[in-house]
Structure 1
Amino acid sequence: MQATSKHLPQSKTLFRSSKRPQLPNRRKFDVRAVMSNSEMQAAIGSGILMLIAWAAGGWSEIASVLLYVISYTVGGWIKAKEGVETLIKDRDLDVNLLMIAAALGAASIGYWNEGAMLIFIFALSGALESYTMERSKKDISSLMALKPATAVRIENGAMNEITIDQLILGDLLLVRPGELIPADGKVYRGESSVDQASITGESVPVDKFAGHEVFAGTVNGEGPLYIEVTQSAENTLFAKIIKMVEEAELEVPNSQRFIKRLESIYARVVVATTLALVLLPPVLLDWNWGTTFYKAMVFLVVASPCALVSSIMPAMLSAISKSARRGILFKGGVHLENMARTSIVAFDKTGTLTEGAPQVTDFIAGGEYDRDELLIICASLENMSRHPLAEAIVRKAEDECLVLRGVQETKSLTGWGIEGQIDGQHWRIGKTNFLDTETVEGPAHILEYWRALRQQLEDEGKTVSIIMEGEKVAGMIALQDTVRPQAEAAVRKLQALGIKVAMLTGDRAATAAVIARKTGVDLVYADLLPEDKVRYIKAMRETYGNVVMVGDGVNDAPALATATVGIGMGMKGSGAALEIADVVLMNDNIEEIAATISLARRTQRIVKQNMIFAVSVISVLILSNFLQGIALPFGVIGHEGSTILVILNGLRLLR
């Protein structure tokens, strides 16, 4: 790409500062957000009206009853509406109708204050649960508020503001200081720091220079950037995240599905038992109707499964929300649930445990060749190729500030390497199997030296290429993919949790063994095709149970789909891997996997605590009502108080 072809404008007036977009609020607990929740406002209004009605009872019974009716309406309207909708649409009973029925039942026998208290605390617990869901959605999809609408496109030196949908690949955009980056692309010119917190969870802005990737929805810092568009609007990382958010909102964990089914059956049992308590004791036990109805209303309150229903989702959503703030996106609570039971984590090697970008580790020139001169020839020839190994050789020459030469008659040799003419000499670079042919020229002891060197380098897990001048060996290059800095720590943390770690790779066994020694993985499977990876994942599921697969490439997609939970790399991962993955590491930090599994396990412990606590409270209150008799206010406080406690217990995960 030539700079002149883009006609970059030079006017300083282009670089005025814009109002910096607000990144997601990351406070632990936002009181104003809670108070602005409409359900919370209704609950508080209901509570205030209840207190006023209670105080008014001393001077006007009619005014007191009227205020109670308003209190019931304000606090119970939302829940009553939800309950009626469930009854009409699904022909089913839920907790909402049970609570409204209990409150109205209490009012019908003169216990207006107890009914109002029930409505108030029930509305309060519902508001807290709604806040949890809203908080989770805001943390997961907060970047949706940062969705850019327009971009400044440069055409023939002129600037035009266009909508994002009008962008095409190759467009050159200007992003002023403080503005949102409108599309995925590469920096063409300019230097700045970019705040990527909304996508990757990184707390520190990242410096960007020419050639660096940038993402839609991130915020430019203090310097202007010219960006070349590399992805259409629907294929940006931003668009993929939005799709994942939508999937997460629809996905319900298995435990919650079970609770919803149980709620339906349980509600019918509670209603049937309540009716039996109203009708049978006067006949069988000679109770008066008032006492019977009162006990039935207490039973209806204390037996309702409010706390049980609220045991799961607030905790799940809080955990998903916390993960999102660290740059880990779950496509639903079911994957968090499955992750808690992880027995083994399988990593792809290239691009996951390693950087995915090979580097030149050894460059050996033959005795009669100058080392720098030979590297210039190699880099000049490889500069014609886009192969990762070729790019690594070119980078090596650039790092050593060597000037490349012109190449004539270059030709790619399929399955072997590349050849071309430099200064009238014929050069080739490719696989070392040429050493094993009879056409190679040179003394036997020299050829034996090169073969021994090849074996030594390959034993170290390196990829080796040979440099040929005509039919003579001129030198040898060894390249190796570098291990991610956090790979060893990531493996060690998983093993500390009692989880086995495996590595699946299509690379040679020798290379895989070297990476395994450096990272400390327990199991190594090499020379695998994509279908082989699937076969090994299935075998691991049979042997160990829940398997988490971590990968970044198209060839990993089948294995990601086969694993119990598939984790895709968000920054460098392929589109197919991100589509298939159940969880995405937006910052590619594999060290976060152990922390995420720990969080999933903690979530499951909190869910179990909540369920045991909820069932225990319901059981104690029911037995107390039958064996000793409890006042309706105590039943309301005990039951609804337990609901609020399990919600607050789940909210602890937001810390």
Structure 2
Amino acid sequence: MRTSWNILGSRHKGLIVTALSLGFIILAWYSGKYGHAEFEVPFYLLAYAIGGYQKAWEGLQTLIKEKDLDVDLLMVLAAIGAASIGFWRDGAILILIFSLSGALEGYTLERTNDEIKSIMKLRPEEAIVLHGNVEKRVRVEELQQGDHLLVRPGERIAADGIVSEGFSSVNQASITGESIPIDKSAGDEVFAGTMNGQGALVIEMTKPAEATLLAKIIHLVQEAQSERPPSQLFMERFEGIYAKIVVTGAVLIPVLSPFVIGWSWSETIYKAMIFLVVASPCALVSSVMPAVLSGISNGARKGILFKGGAYLETIGDVSVVAFDKTGTLTEGIPRITQVIPYGNYTENEVLSIAASLETWSEHPIAKAIIRKAKGKNLHLSSASKLEAVPGFGVHGIVEGQEYRIGKLDLIGGQKLPEEEMNAVQELEKQGNTVIFVQVGNERIGVLAVQDTLRPQAKESISRLKKMGIKVVMLTGDSSSTAKIMGEQVGVDQVYSELLPEHKVDIIKKLGEYGKVAMVGDGVNDAPALAVSSVGIAMGAAGTDVAMETANVVLMADDISKVSYAIALGRRTTRVVKQNVTFAIAVIFVLVLSNFFGNINLPLGVIGHEGSTIIVIISGLRLLR
């Protein structure tokens, strides 16, 4: 019985307390009306104690520990004041409605949190590990990197890994926000928490449980829940100051009103109690967090993870969006479109040397060169004394000769002959990045590399521009290649031939237009992500460094979600402003009604607590 009460109480305790308080108010009213007056006050006292105990305790804790007043204590003082001048029923109704408001606020906030916490329930508790032909069911916490997991049709995948056997479609909506299941076969990456489709898969676990993409999402969600936006911090500071002003006003009313307005002592105390209620900032304090948490929850369902409410607010004020090119506007999977050898070298020789130099590199262009060489079954020699020059290329020794591969600057930046320059410019006009290969002072060939635009890139940039946002592209590519790519996607401005530190300078410079959002995926984007007003990282293709540095993560690498995130931020700010305006207006009207109208305490309570409930429900609109 105790267990069932705990489960019930954890979710519905506020509503149960409110119902009991209402029951005792009804009994008190019945006792007074039908000749049992001796029970009336005791029943009201029970209603006070049950409905107001929690709020009184919280208010006293704030007063004792933080030496501050809050709205909880104001409400309880108002109720006690009403009882002290004989208005037991009015004070009890105040406690009742305040209790109901708190219960509804707790319930709505719990609903918002449930939306977010549902992400944490995605990972299954157990997994099937294969040891040869033997299957063993183990807890997820016991899994080791390198384990081979069997995932049957309809089961959730327990860990990040690579498919080693089988073919199936996997629903990744819970992680990346993609609505359509993705076909997976040997060599494809899968994520913990996603749902396997019609086929069985054998997955080699590549990351420990605490390092999975799902674990990172959970960490980001926890950060988002604990971090309060500037507007909420301001409200909390304001609440303490405002509560003192209200208490001072409630004390001055009985002192001054009999002389200034001519009220009786009883009427003055009653008006002071009403003032305590209607002037309290409950609705104001509740104007921000329900809306912000709902916005964060909305984004999480769409594959957009905000690391805190502050970034949801900030992104709505963004005036400029800067996109990295490779891996962000493009797929990040470039291909070799042409190999042009010079002198006595052949295409295959140039390609083989280039691939040998790039064997250990993780750069997308290096991978494209290696893929091309392996596709032709070329022999790759072992390279030594390899040295990467970030933003330029690589040099090292292959078969006793020192070779360089990269941009023109890496190989000395010498002036090219006119015929060669014309050929390079023609390649760049076609959207290629030109990579030079050189031995000593002799160029032995060039490689033309072209990246593929993301399908949604052009539409995404168009949508941002329609929202009045300036869009720029940052890239390390040559100016001619960057210009062509920029024209293809429709950005307002292109900055090319940039090193990581140059990207930082550009972001700072763009600050003259307003707040800047930087969208990137690589290690070299991390400094720019850090210095921008809002850093947005690609979650699936992005590096760990980019994800850790960024304030917002796009789990599906869908850059169309950038405009959605900005629109969500703007809408959140709009809802918060509407809530604050409404709350102030209600307080103003109720205070005036108290002094110049004929408002009673129950009506004041209904107006005050009703406005609190309305702003909470208004914030929940953002869940849609």
TM-score range, shorter chain: 0.7 to 0.9
Contact 1:135 1:321 in 2 (8 A): no
Contact 1:486 1:591 in 2 (8 A): yes
Point out the more displaced range, 51-60 or 217-226. Answer: 51-60
Do the aligned partners of residues 631 and 269 (structure 1) sit closer, same or farther apart at CA in structure 2, a change above 3 Å counting?
same
3-state SS of paired residue (1:561): helix
Task: Give the residue type in structure 2 aligned to 1:54.
Answer: W
Output one character per residue of 1:528-560: Cα deviation in whole Å (capped at 9) or x when no partner. Answer: 22222122212222x112111111111111111
| Cα distance between partner residues in 2 of 1:606 and 1:472 | 65
Do the aligned partners of residues 385 and 563 (structure 1) sit closer, same or farther apart at CA in structure 2, a change above 3 Å counting?
same
Matching residue of 1:490: 460
- Indicate yes or no: 2:570 matched with 1:606: no
Contact 1:106 1:115 in 2 (8 A): yes
| Cα distance between partner residues in 2 of 1:139 and 1:627 | 45
| Cα distance between partner residues in 2 of 1:136 and 1:621 | 30
Point out the more displaced range, 338-347 or 127-136. Answer: 127-136
Q: Aligned match of 1:154 in 121, 126, 130?
A: 130
Matching residue of 2:313: 337
Matching residue of 1:252: 228
Q: Aligned match of 1:581 in 550, 553, 561?
A: 550
| Cα distance between partner residues in 2 of 1:528 and 1:411 | 28
3-state SS of paired residue (1:88): helix
- Indicate yes or no: 2:153 matched with 1:183: no
Matching residue of 2:298: 322
Task: Give the residue type in structure 1 aligned to 2:289.
Answer: M
Do the aligned partners of residues 411 and 305 (structure 1) sit closer, same or farther apart at CA in structure 2, a change above 3 Å counting?
closer
3-state SS of paired residue (1:483): coil
Task: Give the residue type in structure 2 aligned to 1:642.
Answer: S
Once the two structures are TM-superposed, the CA of residue 253 in structure 1 deviates from its matched residue by: 1.1
| Cα distance between partner residues in 2 of 1:397 and 1:506 | 24
Matches within 5 A, 1:203-602: 203-282=179-258, 287-362=263-338, 382=355, 385=359, 387=361, 388-389=364-365, 391-392=367-368, 405=377, 407=379, 409-411=381-383, 414=386, 415=394, 452-464=422-434, 477-541=447-511, 543-602=512-571
Output one character per residue of 1:171-225: Cα deviation in whole Å (capped at 9) or x when no partner. Answer: 3222233333222111111112222222222233222111111112222223221
Task: Give the residue type in structure 1 aligned to 2:208.
Answer: S
- Indicate yes or no: 2:113 matched with 1:137: yes
Do the aligned partners of residues 220 and 349 (structure 1) sit closer, same or farther apart at CA in structure 2, a change above 3 Å counting?
same
Output one character per residue of 1:591-622: Cα deviation in whole Å (capped at 9) or x when no partner. Answer: 11112211211221221122122112111211
Contact 1:125 1:647 in 2 (8 A): no
Q: Aligned match of 2:13 in 38, 43, 57?
A: 38
Contact 2:313 2:573 in 1 (8 A): yes
Matches within 5 A, 1:158-177: 158-177=134-153
| Cα distance between partner residues in 1 of 2:385 and 2:435 | 14
Once the two structures are TM-superposed, the CA of residue 263 in structure 1 deviates from its matched residue by: 0.8
| Cα distance between partner residues in 1 of 2:377 and 2:520 | 39
Contact 1:429 1:465 in 2 (8 A): no
Contact 2:536 2:552 in 1 (8 A): yes
Matching residue of 1:125: 101
| Cα distance between partner residues in 2 of 1:474 and 1:553 | 30
Once the two structures are TM-superposed, the CA of residue 279 in structure 1 deviates from its matched residue by: 3.6
| Cα distance between partner residues in 2 of 1:35 and 1:149 | 24
| Cα distance between partner residues in 1 of 2:616 and 2:456 | 36
| Cα distance between partner residues in 2 of 1:410 and 1:35 | 65
Matching residue of 1:23: none
Do the aligned partners of residues 53 and 510 (structure 1) sit closer, same or farther apart at CA in structure 2, a change above 3 Å counting?
farther
Contact 1:336 1:600 in 2 (8 A): yes
Contact 1:80 1:96 in 2 (8 A): yes
| Cα distance between partner residues in 1 of 2:573 and 2:381 | 64
| Cα distance between partner residues in 1 of 2:437 and 2:517 | 42
Task: Give the residue type in structure 2 aligned to 1:262.
Answer: F
Do the aligned partners of residues 581 and 277 (structure 1) sit closer, same or farther apart at CA in structure 2, a change above 3 Å counting?
same
Do the aligned partners of residues 577 and 47 (structure 1) sit closer, same or farther apart at CA in structure 2, a change above 3 Å counting?
farther
Task: Give the residue type in structure 1 aligned to 2:332.
Answer: G
Do the aligned partners of residues 516 and 44 (structure 1) sit closer, same or farther apart at CA in structure 2, a change above 3 Å counting?
farther
| Cα distance between partner residues in 1 of 2:422 and 2:536 | 41
Alignment: residue pair count:
600
Matching residue of 2:389: none
Structure 1 unmatched ranges of 5 or more: 1-32, 421-425, 438-446
Output one character per residue of 1:436-476: Cα deviation in whole Å (capped at 9) or x when no partner. Answer: 99xxxxxxxxx9876643331133331345799xx999986
Matching residue of 1:10: none
Do the aligned partners of residues 294 and 381 (structure 1) sit closer, same or farther apart at CA in structure 2, a change above 3 Å counting?
closer
What's the C-alpha RMSD, in Å, of the aligned pairs?
A: 3.6
3-state SS of paired residue (2:585): helix
Once the two structures are TM-superposed, the CA of residue 35 in structure 1 deviates from its matched residue by: 11
Q: Aligned match of 1:54 in 12, 29, 39?
A: 29
Once the two structures are TM-superposed, the CA of residue 432 in structure 1 deviates from its matched residue by: 9.2
3-state SS of paired residue (1:547): strand
Do the aligned partners of residues 452 and 89 (structure 1) sit closer, same or farther apart at CA in structure 2, a change above 3 Å counting?
same
Task: Give the residue type in structure 2 aligned to 1:38.
Answer: K
Matching residue of 2:390: none
| Cα distance between partner residues in 2 of 1:585 and 1:519 | 20
| Cα distance between partner residues in 1 of 2:426 and 2:551 | 41
Do the aligned partners of residues 369 and 257 (structure 1) sit closer, same or farther apart at CA in structure 2, a change above 3 Å counting?
closer
Matching residue of 1:68: 44
Do the aligned partners of residues 432 and 254 (structure 1) sit closer, same or farther apart at CA in structure 2, a change above 3 Å counting?
closer
Output one character per residue of 1:102-155: Cα deviation in whole Å (capped at 9) or x when no partner. Answer: 122223333333223322322233233323332332223322122344433333
3-state SS of paired residue (1:484): coil
| Cα distance between partner residues in 1 of 2:62 and 2:485 | 56
Task: Give the residue type in structure 1 aligned to 2:492.
Answer: D
| Cα distance between partner residues in 2 of 1:230 and 1:638 | 58
Q: Aligned match of 1:629 in 584, 595, 598?
A: 598
Once the two structures are TM-superposed, the CA of residue 65 in structure 1 deviates from its matched residue by: 3.7
Task: Give the residue type in structure 2 aligned to 1:215.
Answer: F
Do the aligned partners of residues 188 and 637 (structure 1) sit closer, same or farther apart at CA in structure 2, a change above 3 Å counting?
same
3-state SS of paired residue (2:553): strand
| Cα distance between partner residues in 2 of 1:332 and 1:97 | 30
Contact 2:108 2:617 in 1 (8 A): no
3-state SS of paired residue (1:571): coil
| Cα distance between partner residues in 2 of 1:382 and 1:297 | 82
Structure 2 unmatched ranges of 5 or more: 1-7, 387-393
| Cα distance between partner residues in 2 of 1:303 and 1:350 | 56
Do the aligned partners of residues 68 and 201 (structure 1) sit closer, same or farther apart at CA in structure 2, a change above 3 Å counting?
farther
| Cα distance between partner residues in 2 of 1:66 and 1:516 | 78
Matching residue of 1:113: 89
Task: Give the residue type in structure 1 aligned to 2:561.
Answer: E
